[in-house]
């Protein structure tokens, strides 16, 4: 099932590339901007609760679709681009297993737990 979900997310990422191509903007803007939504992780500098809110705001598909539709309604290719990039980024993250965050930990997502990176002996802070 997990692979089927990843395939579906990859298809949505492909859809975002296609939608971006319809905007008539230079193609290289898409790879340049695709990581911008990760600015939402900055909230984790405050706390896991704030981080979850800011991360989820920039990674929720409904937000991306609303931004895209607002851009379409107002005839703003720039706002449409923002919505498409948000949508594509969310799909890309989910292909790699990063989902919307719970407020207890960055590693706790709606897709399950992300394995935290291994820590080395040098990373231990409570060495006497």
What pLDDT, on the 0 to 100 scale, is given for residue 117? 60
What is the C-alpha separation between 13 and 92, in angstroms, rounded? 6
The answer to whether 60 touches 90, Cβ cutoff 8 Å, is: yes
What pLDDT, on the 0 to 100 scale, is given for residue 119? 58
The answer to whether 54 touches 40, Cβ cutoff 8 Å, is: yes
The answer to whether 92 touches 27, Cβ cutoff 8 Å, is: no
pLDDT tops 70 at residue 57: yes
* Structural domain contains residue 118: no
What pLDDT, on the 0 to 100 scale, is given for residue 127? 46
* Structural domain contains residue 115: no
Name the residue among 30, 34, 36 with its Cα closest to residue 18: 30
Summarize pLDDT for 61-84 with one digit per residue, the tens.
Answer: 999 999 999 999 999 999 999 999
The answer to whether 103 touches 46, Cβ cutoff 8 Å, is: no
Mean pLDDT of 101-120: 74
Summarize pLDDT for 25-42 with one digit per residue, the tens.
Answer: 999 999 999 999 999 999
Structural domains of the chain, count: 1
Mean pLDDT of 96-108: 83
The answer to whether 81 touches 25, Cβ cutoff 8 Å, is: yes
* Structural domain contains residue 120: no
* Structural domain contains residue 112: no
* Structural domain contains residue 29: yes
* Structural domain contains residue 123: no
Q: Report CA torsion sign: 58, 81, 19, 68.
A: positive
| Range(s) of the domain holding residue 92 | 2-106
What pLDDT, on the 0 to 100 scale, is given for residue 97? 83
Helix, strand, or coil (residue 112) = strand
* Structural domain contains residue 78: yes
* Structural domain contains residue 6: yes
């Amino acid at each position: 099932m997990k692979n089927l979900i990843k395939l579906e997310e990859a298809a949505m990422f492909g859809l975002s590339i296609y939608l971006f191509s319809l905007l008539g903007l230079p193609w290289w803007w898409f790879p340049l901007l695709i990581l911008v939504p990760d600015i939402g992780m900055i909230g984790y500098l405050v706390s896991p609760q704030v981080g979850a809110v800011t991360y989820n705001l920039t990674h929720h598909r409904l937000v991306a679709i609303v931004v895209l539709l607002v851009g379409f309604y107002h005839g703003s290719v720039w706002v449409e681009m923002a919505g498409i990039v948000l949508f594509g980024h969310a799909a890309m993250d989910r292909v790699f297993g990063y989902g919307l965050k719970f407020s207890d930990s960055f590693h706790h997502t709606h897709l399950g737990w992300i394995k935290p990176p291994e820590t080395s002996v040098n990373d231990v802070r409570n060495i006497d």
